[in-house]
Amino acid sequence: MSPAIWKPNVTVAAVVERDGRFLLVEEETDDGLRFNQPAGHLDEGESLVAACVRETLEETAYAFEPTALVGVYQWPRPRNENEGDITYLRFAFAGKVGGSDTARPLDVGIVRAVWMTPDEIAAVAARHRSPLVWQCVQDYLAGRRFPLDLIRHHG
């Protein structure tokens, strides 16, 4: 049997701030209810920007318009007995949302979309899906913004 080929899981996340509050989702995980930015995996053939737009809509019912790249994050998740080693490569995008489509059902596992202040987000750090949740907020608040054309999609 050949050894398994290691590859990171590519994910996207939306960092959305409005009136001093950030859009997060509360979601069911194997570790209980956790908070995360609207986020998810890149699908085959999809651009990173398109993936972020899709994931935000599916998880929050908000149409997301990315305006900048906040950062690229590599996180080797601590070993899980069920899944082994997993490294996430997250592309976090800043942007804005319009109104919410209240009739749209949220993705399976998403309990709710919620707007939280940075202090509220920090207060629930033990319930973050990963350390990247708070890092993305901190980087956004520090003014980290890179142009979207930094990312090239040839598809």
Domains and CATH numbers, the chain: 9-146 (3.90.79.10)
Q: Which amino acid belongs to residue 118?
A: P
Compute the distance between CA of residue 102 and CA of residue 31 in angstroms, rounded to an integer: 28
pLDDT 10s digits, 8-36: 899 999 999 999 999 999 999 999 999 99
CB 85, CB 45: distance < 8 Å: no
Task: Give the chain's mean pLDDT.
Answer: 94
pLDDT 10s digits, 85-123: 789 999 999 999 998 998 999 999 999 999 999 999 999
If you average pLDDT over residues 113-134, what whole number do you get? 98
Residue among 82, 88, 10, 5 nearest 42 (CA): 10
pTM value is 0.92
